[in-house]
Chain A
Amino acid sequence: MGIAIIGGGVAGITAALDLADSGFKVYLIEKNAELGGKMAELAECKTGLSPKIVEIENHPNIELLLSSELESLSGSAGEFKLNVSGNEIEAESVVLAPGYDVFDEIPKSYAIANPDVVTSLEFEGMLRSATASETGELLRPSDGKRVKKIGFIQCIGSRCQENEICSTACCAYTAKEAWEVKERYPDMDVCVFYMDIRVFGKDEELAAELKDKYGVKYIRSRVPEVIPENGALSVKFENLEKGTIDKLDLDMVVLAVGLLPSKTLSRLAEITGVKTDKYGYIETSITNPLETNVEGLFACGTATAPMKVRESVAQASGAALKAALLSERTEMIPGQEERKYVEAGEEPKIGVFICGCEGEVRDCVDIPAVAERVSQLKDGVFVNSETNTMEEAMEAIESGIVDQGLNRIVFAGYTPRKYEDTVRDRCAKAGLNPYLMEMVNLREQCAWVHEPKEATESAAGLIAMAVERARYLEEIPVERYPVIPKALVIGGGVSGMNAALGIADAGYEVYLVEKEPELGGSLREEIGLQSGEKSSDVLTEFVDKVSSNERINVYTNAKVEDVTGRAGSFKAKIAGEGANEDIDFGACIIATGTDESVPEGYYGYGKDKNVVTQPEFGKMLGGTLSANTVVMIQDVGPDGGVNPKYGSIELMNNVLKAKEKNPDLNVFVLYQDIKTYGKWEVLYKEAREKGVIFLRYDKDKPPKYEDGIVSVHDVILNDEIQIKPDLLVLSTPAMPAEENERLSKMFKIPLKNGFFLEAQERPKMKLTPVDTVNEGVFICGSAVYPALIDECIAMSSAAASRACVLLAKDFLETPAVTSVVDELICSGCGVCVDMCPVEAIELTEEPVPVVTFGVATVIGGTKRIAKVNDGCMGCGSCASYCPSGAMSLKHFRDKQVYAQLDYAV
């Protein structure tokens, strides 16, 4: 049996790979003829996604059903029977990832029929073709004139009558498009019409930069209308900064269209019996964000709510883990077989494989001419220039190694950034040490950026350099070490507990370490969750499950110290009250959460008992509420934290509960941006309907609170308003856990604003939201950004899934590109020791043996020598310092770089 995944977009792809890589049989069902879903429609994203697609196409554990649709589903969890376009499939569990469709009933008022008004997706395409064009200019579709002024209108088909929820992703993607425009065309006038800027995390910085550095005009406005006039466009809007009706002439307008559930979803729901909510999304709950009402059917990505790629990918990994728990592992894990390499031999026998890259390179670079020049290189090299696809090239390389005895491979074609692992793997399969292979990037860095003649010249030059480098490449022994099938989870909040449960349920032992005396993290505060559940109920359920799980060892009042080792084989110490234990583990999940911020000194907090924080107000709502007038202020200090994603949602939730308790309560909310993402938008709507008054203040003119009176400059009225509240409620930023700093150093994972930074694969995509630069260490929940509880749960399931993919392996290979010391040359200066960013170099004292030359004896003593330990990440900073060259970085040794340099000029 196996696991069926419905939908081959980014979520389906992620889930499929996580499962297949841990030894499960996967059926990936996609209705289109190609994988990639919506993301593949975006040129740039497609390039980022395609290596994953290649991986799927070649994965022994994945059966791909393209142009196929689910027609029926019967049976129950553990024994589903699916009919997929006529094929019978048996699966123990099913992951639903049908994705989204964009809003397409754009009202006439936006003049969408006008060629100069385009949707954001169309605009993405325009930008690509503009940059690829001769002049690189962005031209107006109607008359081919250069675009000088462009406007983006947000919330098209979101937060409106047709679709009352917030699409969550559009603010961020608009910001990115605006940024791209400004980067390419710095002189272009760019404005964004918006209601609230709903971005969080890194995107928040981007939006701020757009305003401050790039001069993008963000215009807070309502109901913009696009009026084509005399061959130009005019946008009429209600200016919410000034309260006036304004008009702005533009050359082009981009509509940021919202997300809707996939059109296939209703039928899918019908077939599977999965419940959908009133917006048409698959219904899930806050505490079980990946589970549907049907046992064994899991949902992820934009089928459950509108969200960004990063959240989709996290959900997909999480759903994969849930699905795996119901399934039996039946397949081999790729790459686990022991490889035998042939002796490469002293004499290099170099094979150069030039690939046409499906015509992308062949159409631009004169490959026969390049092949001719390469074959003239000294000492003779074997050249193959026949292949046109990755697969053909790989087969040719394998045959070159096996049949012709080639012992150095130069592969010219795709970028190594994405394909190096694949090519190395194929070389290894054919018996060649994978580090005897060098890649030349003919597609991204020649064909796509130069004119044919020049690209050909450049290709020949780059290959010559690579051939010379290949001569000096060395076999790097690839050693295997066993994976310790245990995990360490740091942080006993909901994220940490959920991650621990996921891993334990998958069959691995878990150490769960919490610094406080008890589990629970921020859920220990008695608050009502957005869904109406009480935090204590949710918490009790988690704590019970954790404490009754015999695979989870819980340590409270404890800290993790002295971490050493690498993915698959870490060591650490758990220290604390009553605990002092050395542990070893294969994977680690950091789920430290946030610390509460205390706005000491802000608005008299701490002195005036009528000033409370939002969580404190939430707790007060458990009792009676005597206040008649409440003022809430968003975005209050202190410094050093970040705005939590749940900030506005928590506020709305409290406001509505307060109004329920006391319908006559006067509530004023002073805000800069209301950020009620996704379905939470309805809370905002409800609050307004219930008479809550929202007053926007300017960042530079924050509200004042003196003698019990709040005064605020209202932007829209352009006047000062004074309110005398009985209670002043402050929404404060979330502070990164104090532990983060220490853990960041210990685990070598960088922080941004105090929160952990994920490994970044591609510029605009987050395909690895829980992975870090330190392989084997994963991050989740509010350790990454202050997230909502359902996000924390999804993310922690994702982290557990990623950890399980690693733990499922029996062996891992030692990293190959690391530094080595030539002990005979090392002077022991120790500069490398101080320089190493991961403390992977030690200075050792070695006895100098007593040497006798005839009658004279050289007295022995000690000498200092640098030694590289297991922690080396291979940056090479040490090697670049070392003046004698005693320190080298394998695969990037001086002589290897020199060889390239000699042939570069």
Chain B
Amino acid sequence: MKGTELKQEDLEGLFKGLLDKKAVDCLVLPHKVGNNVAYMLVKDGDKIESPAASAIFAPSFGVNAANIVKGWTIPERVGIVAKPCEIRAAIELIKLKQMDKESVLLISADCSGAFTNQDYADHAGEIGDWVDSAKINELKGKGIAIREACAICENRLADVGDIIIERVDGGKVLVAGITDMGDEALSSTELSLEDKDVERQAEKEKIAADAKKEKEELPKMSSVEELEEFLRDCIACKNCRDMCPVCYCKECFFEQPLGKPVGGDLLNLAELRSAIGVPTNQLLYHLTRIYHVCTTCVGCGACEDACPKDIPLTRLYPLIAKKVQEIFEYVPGEDAEEPLPFITYEEEELEDKLR
């Protein structure tokens, strides 16, 4: 890959350059709002806050950036600077034609794991603009833990999208293009690019191993009764769906008469089964949703953050989706050209998973 090392404070210049040189028409970028971090859509490079790095790397997760951009049918090229899981979600959305590959420039930045944005806001001083694993452990001891979805995430290092922003030693970052589009965009900013290859395999494996361990330690369900209990507090607000970046239906099945029966249909059902729970089809809603996102779920945990009843949905959605992805040897968001598991097949496969 071709890239360049920059000082962290030069990142603003890079983003401004992308805008000025029309590599992108606008930029979705995190910025600090008080103690918190949120996204903004920038048209004018002068509005980019300094230091940009402190917002980009801030370990805070609010809304998945891909979910924000999804469905913006704007005729301009949007650059998105976000965490790897958000960029992965965007790539899945490209496969699902909810975004055009040509009209987004995806820039992923290293993530170390994030806190919910409430936790971050509450402890911004202690957490700071970046945490490493030692810091994460230290904070955990104080009862300030990163999100469960982050703890079990194996793909925290920036390695997807068109451009990656890696943290390197000495307060520097490595910016590099990993697709033609990324290369072109970087070249247009007149940065001097050279062949760069930073070996991070060991680091990656360490993260993956730690994440796996964390995952093992999560409580597991083994029966459908346990699922019922798990979802006991669910109020069927469907916020988990609305905040899910890879849920892309214009109208969810569970807003339609079959998923959400009303009137005569509802009475028929009640008559047939003597009694039904209301709101009805709650369990079906969650099980179906797991199935619908099982190949595309990037494990960002936005569902859990969105749950007003604090149901630890990471244990439901990302955890189970991952198991499905394993049988297809599929990692969502790796490459926009890779086909979705449900539209492709091998002539001989999976026979041990059918009966």
Q: Which residues from chain A sit less than 8 Å from chain B, CB to CB?
A: 378, 824-831, 834-835, 843, 848, 861-864, 881, 883-886, 894-895, 898, 902-903
> Residues of B with Cβ closer than 8 Å to A?
73, 75, 96-98, 248-253, 256-258, 269, 271-272, 292, 339-340, 342-343
| Distance to closest chain A CB from B346 (angstroms) | 16
A834 touches B339 (CB 8 A): yes
A903 near B272 with CB under 8 A, answer: yes
Task: Using CB atoms, name the residue of chain A closest to B288.
Answer: A883
Of A863, A884, A894, chain B has the most CB atoms within 10 Å of the CB of A884
Of all chain A residues, which has the CB nearest B339?
A834
Q: How far is the CA of A269 from the CA of B271 in the complex (A)?
A: 72
User: Given A831-B340, A831-B342, are A824 and B269 also a contact pair (CB < 8 Å)?
Assistant: no
Bound CA–CA A895/B269 (angstroms): 13
Q: Verify B343–A835 contact, CB threshold 8 A.
A: yes
From residue B261, how far is it (CB to closest CB) to chain A in Å? 10
Residues of A contacting B339 with CB < 8 Å?
834
The 6 closest A-B pairs by CB, nearest first: A884-B249, A829-B96, A861-B73, A834-B343, A883-B292, A827-B250
The total of interchain contacts (Cβ-Cβ below 8 angstroms) comes to 59
Whether A828 and B97, one on each chain, are in contact in the complex, defined by CB atoms closer than 8 angstroms, is yes
Given the known inter-chain contacts A830-B97, A834-B339, A902-B269, please indicate yes or no for A885 contacting B258, CB distance below 8 A: yes
A862–B253 Cα distance when bound, in Å, is: 24
In the bound complex, CA of A389 to CA of B96 (Å): 53
> With A and B bound together, what is the CA distance between A223 and B253 in angstroms?
70
Do the beta carbons of A883 and B258 come within 8 Å of each other? no
Please indicate the chain B residues that have their CB under 8 angstroms from the CB of A825 in the complex. 249-251, 256
Q: Which residue of chain A has its CB nearest to the CB of B292? A: A883
B343–A827 touching, CB < 8 Å: no
Do residues A829 and B343 form an inter-chain contact, with CB atoms below 8 A?
Answer: no
Q: How far is the CB of B216 from chain A (nearest CB, A)?
A: 31
B249 near A831: Cβ-Cβ < 8 Å: no
A884 CB contact (under 8 Å) in B75, B253, B257, B340: B253
Give the residue name and chain of the B residue nearest to A835 (CB): B343
Q: Which residues on B sit within 8 Å (CB–CB) of A883? A: 249, 253, 292
**Distance (Å) between the CB of B94 and the closest chain A CB?**
11
Contact B75 A864 (CB under 8 A): no
Determine the distance from Cα of A885 to Cα of B252 in the docked complex, in whole angstroms.
8
CB closest residue in chain A, given B256 = A885
A883 to B292, CA, bound (A): 6
Q: What is the bound-complex CA distance between A886 and B256, given in angstroms?
A: 11
**Given A827-B98, A829-B98, A831-B340, are A884 and B272 neighbors across the interface (CB < 8 Å)?**
no
Contact A864–B258 (Cβ < 8 Å): no
Q: List 11 A-B contacts (CB under 8 A).
A: A825-B251, A825-B256, A827-B98, A827-B249, A828-B97, A829-B97, A830-B97, A831-B340, A881-B342, A886-B249, A895-B258
Tell me which of A826, A862, A902 contacts B250 (CB under 8 A).
A826
CB proximity of A435 to chain B, nearest CB, Å: 20
- 11 A-B pairs besides A831-B96, A831-B343 with CB distance below 8 A are A824-B250, A828-B97, A829-B97, A830-B96, A834-B339, A883-B249, A883-B253, A884-B249, A884-B252, A886-B251, A895-B258
Residues in chain A near residue B340, CB distance under 8 A: 831
Residue in chain A with minimal CB distance to B261: A898
A886 to B96, CA, bound (A): 15
Residues of chain A contacted by B258 (CB below 8 angstroms): 885, 894-895, 898
Closest A residue to B289 by CB, please name it. A883
The contact of A861 among B75, B252, B271, by CB within 8 Å, is: B75
CB pair B252–A863 under 8 Å, yes or no, is: no
Who on chain B is nearest to A895 by CB? B258
Provided the pairs A883-B253, A885-B253 are in contact, do residues A829 and B248 lie with their beta carbons within 8 angstroms?
Answer: yes
**Distance of A885 Cα from B256 Cα, bound (Å):** 9
A687 to B249, CA, bound (A): 73
For the complex, give the distance between the alpha carbons of A382 and B283 in Å: 37
A163 to B251 CA separation, bound complex (whole angstroms): 73
A895 and B256 alpha carbons, distance in the complex (Å)? 11
In the complex the two chains form, what is the Cα distance from A848 to B74 in whole Å?
13
A825 to B255, CA, bound (A): 11
**Complex CA distance for A862 and B340, rounded to whole angstroms:** 24
Taking CB atoms, residues of chain B closer than 8 Å to A834 are 339, 343
- Given A831-B340, A834-B339, A835-B343, do A884 and B251 touch, yes or no (CB 8 Å)? yes
**Residues of chain A with a CB closer than 8 A to B248's CB:** 827, 829
Residue numbers in A under 8 Å from B98 (CB-CB): 827, 829
* Beta-carbon nearest neighbor of A862 in chain B: B73
Q: Which residue of A lies closest to B250 (CB)?
A: A827
Q: Is the CB of A884 within 8 A of B250?
A: yes
- CB-CB under 8 A from A863, the residues of chain B are 73
How many angstroms between the C-alpha atoms of A886 and B251 in the bound complex? 9
> A175–B253 Cα gap in the complex (Å)?
51
B249: chain A residues within 8 A (beta carbon): 825, 827, 883-884, 886
CA distance A881 to B292 in the complex (A): 9
Nearest chain B residue, comparing its CB with the CB of A897: B258
What is the minimal beta-carbon distance from B223 to any residue of chain A, in angstroms?
19
Shortest distance from the beta carbon of B7 to any chain A beta carbon, whole Å: 40
Residues of B within 8 A of A828 (CB): 97
> How many Å lie between the Cα of A885 and that of B251 in the bound state?
9
- In the bound complex, residues from chain A placing their C-beta under 8 Å from that of B271 are 378
* Of A831, A881, A895, most B-chain CB atoms within 10 Å: A831
CA distance A697 to B354 in the complex (A): 42
Min Cβ gap B254→A in Å is 10
**Closest partner residue, chain A, to B340 (CB atom):** A831
User: Bound state CA distance, A843 and B271, in angstroms?
Assistant: 42
Q: Which residue of A lies closest to B73 (CB)?
A: A861
Kindly report which residue of chain A lies nearest to residue B255, judged by CB atoms: A884
Q: Which A residues are in CB contact (< 8 Å) with B73?
A: 848, 861-863
The smallest C-beta distance from B158 to any residue of chain A, in angstroms, reads 27
Q: How far is the CB of A599 from chain B (nearest CB, A)?
A: 28
Give chain A nearest CB distance to B115 CB in angstroms: 31
Contact B251 A843 (CB under 8 A): no
Contact assessment for B97 and A864 in the assembled complex, using a CB-CB cutoff below 8 Å: yes
| Chain A residues near B292 (CB-CB < 8 A) | 883
